[in-house]
Amino acid sequence: RVARLIGEEGVRPQRILAVTFTNKAAGVMRDRIAELLGEEPRGIWVGTFHSICARLLRREGDRLARGARFTIYDEDDSLRALKRAMEEAGLDTGRWSPAALRGRISDAKNALVGPAEYEEHAFDLMSRAVADVYPLYERILVRSCAYDFDDLLVHAVRLLEDHQDVGARYAERFLHVLVDEYQDTNHAQYRIVRRLAAGHGNVCVVGDDDQSIYGWRGADVRNILDFERDFPGSAVIRLEENYRSRPAILEVANSVIERNRAR
């Protein structure tokens, strides 16, 4: 689809955003686009949700309290920060698993639930422990001028939704939004897609609700099940239809390849 938009429809590469879930898949996507077009198009944004959000936050750092020169904490960094928060909260790491608490906070962030809202619904012992640690963990990140992986999504949503001019600018820039493995998107990722495609509705997603594998990481299969409701008038190609249309898809792709090789 990217090759067709650029090679057939004349869409400028910088008007296209293509998102997937792993760095490997993003690399394959870039290679395939370059092969189809004969060269890698300059200006196109291709990457994982997290890398795209990190790029966005770097570019718009002046709108954020942590600026553009922030640190991104990996899993080990995040766990160390969580353990410090547990010490500040007086929680015994022998009784409470730091990884389990960190997982609960990750789930909350992916659902765009902040510390205050989480505390309002914390009734069992585990949730209460998380409610005690969550705000302290956030303060440690702020003091360190750092984001964890989940924060990249959370603050991208806030940037796009709370700063109307920024959201409108990127929604106008990315005239075509393409998302792979849409069934594995969580609520934060869903909100990013909705905001960027809100004005034009030019969103193309690929996914299979039977292959949702990241429920443990906050993925919400309702995002793909409700796609037609969220984007009225969208065309849906079912699996069996896709098999029938595969020769036509390959014919278009091959024609683009041959035309660019002949140039």
Q: Round to whole Å and give the CA distance between 262 and 12.
A: 21
Q: Round to whole Å and give the CA distance between 102 and 75.
A: 10
Q: Round to whole Å and give the CA distance between 224 and 238.
A: 13
Q: Round to whole Å and give the CA distance between 151 and 157.
A: 10
CA 178, chain centre distance (Å) = 12
Name the helix (H) or strand (E) containing 176.
Answer: strand 176-179
**Per-residue pLDDT tens over the stretch 184-235:** 899 999 999 999 998 888 999 998 766 655 544 567 888 888 888 888 888 8
pLDDT (0 to 100) of residue 221: 80
Classify residue 205 by its DSSP letter: E
Question: Three-class SS string for 55-77?
Answer: HHHHHCHHHCCCCCCCEEECHHH
Type of residue found at 156: A
**Per-residue pLDDT tens over the stretch 139-189:** 999 999 999 999 999 999 999 999 999 999 999 999 999 999 898 899 999
pLDDT (0 to 100) of residue 224: 83
**Per-residue pLDDT tens over the stretch 82-141:** 999 999 999 999 999 999 999 999 999 999 999 999 999 999 999 999 999 999 999 999
pLDDT (0 to 100) of residue 199: 83
What is the pTM for the complete model shown? Answer: 0.87
